[in-house]
Chains A and B, each alone.
Chain A
């Protein structure tokens, strides 16, 4: 058995569930990069103990809509599946027909298999953003500019799997089913992920 196989096996059989940024929760350091259409995401986290931790992440859609945020997570259930809840606060910046610049908050629930070489996961969340939107209206008597306080509600939904590649490194595939600016229509997305799970 070569070194790679040994590494994979030892990681898969580890008794102590590792930190897990893709599936959520865990003690120690973890991080991931997701890339696909239309979403990209960079995320790092650190679990202070077996339940609580903090995270930083930035997410973008087509590099036109950016959402940097930071938050805390807590593991609520830890058996063959781990269930983690998290709360994030951040900012939403969008350069499009809906230019946006304002704070946002998000609540998430993640479920994942914490052990094994093949680990499915699912994430559900709700995001609320607030901002001042400038609207220019061409009237018969000239250009009218209005500033309106607006809020945006979006739902997050994604699922996928991660598979061990080498020691704490995993690769994965995921599908994204967010609902941006409910009730507008949103096209589903797909992404590849590369993640690091710092086993403690």
Chain B
């Protein structure tokens, strides 16, 4: 109990931006259990760990992927809240159930969850899955829906799945959608699964549902930024479309910093700052959430974002969209 109190009492320190401490939220973090990840994805993840941690990735991952480990990563980065994603992608990255995510986020008032659902054998289990999703969203800490068409192998323009957006809209739960190709094995890289232009009909049909385009359409397989324009166009065109900049600038190459700065500059130029919701796609490795937040802060500074604009990106837009309490700074 004392441990739980310690967890919920810890205060974030904020992200340094132009000599000011800004409140920040990481809307894209993963939780889970190593044995629920597919074998191919286990190998993929293990290959990214420095030697010798890749030899025993299960031990390392288990501690990093539960609430306590994630809170430590949030603290390192001065991040106030973290959103943990449920995932139902048995063909690629594996499964982190709504129940498991809820169990994690209930340990701290700094954690929120995004529910998801399985789309396997949809024609048979559609109603069961939609009911389970609806029930999961009844919890105050499950505040959105996470989908990844490329991981779950269903088309963005398949009307059979539109009820997911309807249920999310009724629950006022924004839908986070993985856009762009994914480097994970077992994903479907074809445009109907990765290009949100195929989602346009659903965006129009469900104006009360908010769509967050995760990774901003970055093509991770070809390391190509060209498709990002599709995401920007949709965010410009529709009030209910938002953008999230996770992962595409996560490598250590110098050009990843230039890419991120260019993206922020373009979003400013196109008047889309009010549509950006910051997320990292952590925890990935120890310190990643912190490094990625700093990298984004530097990129915004390079793109000449004011303090108010950077605050919008780092926390303000998420607070508005998800109707969250303000992040307290010490």
Contacts and interface: CB of A to CB of B under 8 A. Distances in A.
A62 B55 contact: yes
B42 interface: yes
B185 A137 contact: yes
Nearest to B45: A97
Contact of A187 (B40, B45, B50, B185): B50
A173 B99 CA distance: 48
A187 B186 contact: no
Nearest to A64: B55
A136 B40 contact: yes
A180 B51 CA distance: 7
B40 A184 contact: no
A2 interface: no
A181 interface: yes
B46 interface: yes
B72 interface: no
A140 B54 contact: no
Contact of A62 (B45, B47, B56, B185): B56
B186 A138 contact: yes
Contacts of A132: none
Given A136-B40, A138-B185, A96 B54 contact: yes
Contact of A38 (B40, B47, B52): B52
Interface string A37-50: 01000000000000
A61 interface: yes
Interface string A177-191: 000110011110100
Contact of A184 (B50, B57, B153): B50
Contacts of B44: 97
B50 A185 contact: yes
Nearest to A94: B55
A118 interface: no
Nearest to B188: A140
B91 interface: yes
Contacts of B153: 140
Contact of B46 (A61, A97, A138): A97
A181 B54 CA distance: 12
Given A138-B91, A181-B51, A184-B50, A97 B42 contact: yes
B200 interface: no
B43 interface: yes
Nearest to B56: A62
Contacts of A181: 51
B322 interface: no
A47 to B, nearest CB: 32
A178 to B, nearest CB: 8
Contacts of A62: 52, 55-56
Q: How large is the interface on B (under 10, 10 to 19, 20 to 34, 35 or more residues)?
A: 20 to 34
Q: How large is the interface on A (under 10, 10 to 19, 20 to 34, 35 or more residues)?
A: 20 to 34
Nearest to A187: B50
Nearest to B57: A97
A98 interface: yes
B186 A97 contact: no
A44 to B, nearest CB: 25
Given A136-B40, A138-B91, A97 B54 contact: yes
Contact of A96 (B40, B46, B186, B188): B46
B51 to A, nearest CB: 4
A64 B56 contact: yes
A187 B52 contact: yes
Contacts of A94: 55
B55 A38 contact: yes
A98 B54 contact: yes
B53 interface: yes
Interface in B42-94: 42-47, 50-57, 91-92
B40 A138 contact: yes
A119 interface: no
Contacts of A185: 50-51
A59 to B, nearest CB: 12
6 contacts: A64-B56, A97-B45, A98-B47, A98-B54, A185-B50, A187-B51
Listed from nearest, the 7 A-B pairs whose CB atoms lie closest are A97-B46, A185-B50, A38-B52, A64-B55, A97-B43, A138-B186, A180-B51
